[in-house]
A and B are shown apart, each in its own frame.
Chain A
Amino acid sequence: MTQPVVTLSNLGMTFNAGKHNQTIALEAIDLAIQPGEFISLIGPSGCGKSTLLRLVGDLIQPTAGGVQVNGKSAQQARIDQDYGMVFQTPVLFEWRSILNNVMLPLELRGMGRSERQKRAQALLHLVELSGFEHHYPWQLSGGMQQRAAIARALAIQPKLLLMDEPFGALDEMTRERMNMELHRIWLETKTTVIFVTHSIPEAVFLSTRIVVMSARPGRILRVVDVPLTVPRGEHTREETAYFQVETEVREWLRKAKGYATHGLPE
């Protein structure tokens, strides 16, 4: 078996440990993510999905267990820029054109101007933003801004893409379109993706596996395999297997919420 891109072993995260407002965000998380997988993290609000993503990205450090990315510590992986990250908001710099925003990570790596321009242009083509290179973020719609953010995350050609509810702020139609595009990009780049979402259809459409998490303290309740063939498209949403997976995830989510409200599964 190949080396996993991400290995989480007995991972735990407790905020304000030992204080009166101590919060156990994550507990006993074990997960290995193989190259090329598309993993969605889904669960009730406050179940620690985003926290888990931040631990993988070394934006925060765990209080228990460990994270390995590409066989390295999470910190080393961050320093080596082994991953690209897309946030809930596009986080584009308003003083930079779209092209310059996408070029930022390459600029920080000291890549030459013509080379990084070429790469950024290719990425803007990939996310279908060709022709908007010299626009400024405020001139683009929310969906287009988020696509630029995806292009920026892909600029360093990472093996791993971390996405924290990237389409949460978009309307349903735009979100579906973005899902199609992200699926296409994932197939083209063969990047491993960890994707945090609240939306069951989104998770089923995009993922190879869906990790359903319980309410706080966040634990992995169930890992649901998605046996849908690729490439996926409009037809996918009408397949029987699609409905089966959707139903399974929904049932597990209901159980996850049951833990939250009653402390017991329904």
Chain B
Amino acid sequence: MQLRRHLPAILLFLAALALWEGLVHLLQIQRFLLPAPSVIWAAFIENFDRLVHIGWFTTRQALGGFAIGCGAGILAALAVSRWAVASETLMPFAIAANSVPIIAFAPIFNNWFGVDNPFSKMMIVAVIVFFPMMINTVRGLTLVDPAALELMRTYAASELTILRKVRLPNALPYMFSAFKVAATLSMIGAVVSEYFGGNRSALGVFITQEAAQFRFQNSWAAIIIACIVGISFYLIVMLAERLAIPWHSSVRSEAGD
């Protein structure tokens, strides 16, 4: 049944690959402009061990940055939602910062932490995921049904109890939306920040170096790895969401009850 549901998408994907392959041969497109899928696949197999190695290297930067950024974002959100003054002063900046192209700071972070230091990439990723994480969590913690707060008041519940029993569970769906965005952003952030220099075993460095030497099929093969990691990361977060908040409407409708 699953296969049947996804069959159209799979067919479209295969058709697109076939069209790509056909057009490259038919129009005799130069390899450095656009290698055929078969050529990319061959490069992927040939460099497989190295690609896995550098893929894992960059994945660790992305994961590290994800953890730091999301953790800090949640902590900041807890503080901001607790104190109205903090929320009023900080939220406009957070929302503004969220639309700043933080990746542009990559060379500066390289300079601060050292171009070879994995921390420079992690920090870029952390800053990128921090803002969506914080903004979404604040929303989840504060957009609580006023009647629910009144109910807790009839129980003479403390702020901490309200946080644990109402605000945090209420925030979980918002947080998972942010985790999904952050999962995608963290891989993009890690690879792109490596374009500005980094360890030789980094995915972004490999892509730029191979491209500089006109081995574009190798760059493409590395991009496949980046795609696989990015998509896997997203799917893992989605799976965690289904396990963590099976009661929420977003998960319910997907599960098809």
Contact = CB atoms under 8 A, between A and B. Distances in A.
A83 B154 contact: yes
B242 to A, nearest CB: 14
Interface string A30-53: 000000000000000000000000
Contacts of B157: 108
A79 B156 contact: yes
Interface residues of B, number: 20
Nearest to A153: B154
Interface residues of A, number: 20
Given A78-B156, A104-B165, A108-B161, A85 B151 contact: yes
Contacts of A93: 148, 165-166, 169
B147 A87 contact: yes
B155 interface: yes
B154 A108 contact: no
Interface string B166-190: 1001001000000000000000000
B155 A95 contact: no
Nearest to B151: A91
Contacts of A79: 156
25 contacts: A59-B150, A59-B153, A59-B154, A78-B153, A78-B154, A78-B156, A79-B156, A81-B154, A81-B156, A83-B154, A85-B151, A85-B154, A87-B150, A91-B145, A91-B147, A91-B148, A93-B165, A93-B166, A93-B169, A95-B248, A104-B155, A104-B165, A108-B157, A108-B161, A138-B247
Given A78-B154, A91-B145, A108-B155, 6 more contacts: A78-B156, A87-B150, A88-B147, A94-B248, A95-B247, A108-B165
Interface of A: 57, 59, 78-79, 81, 83-85, 87-89, 91, 93-95, 104-105, 108, 136, 138
Q: 4 tightest CB-CB pairs across the interface, nearest first?
A: A95-B169, A91-B147, A79-B156, A85-B154
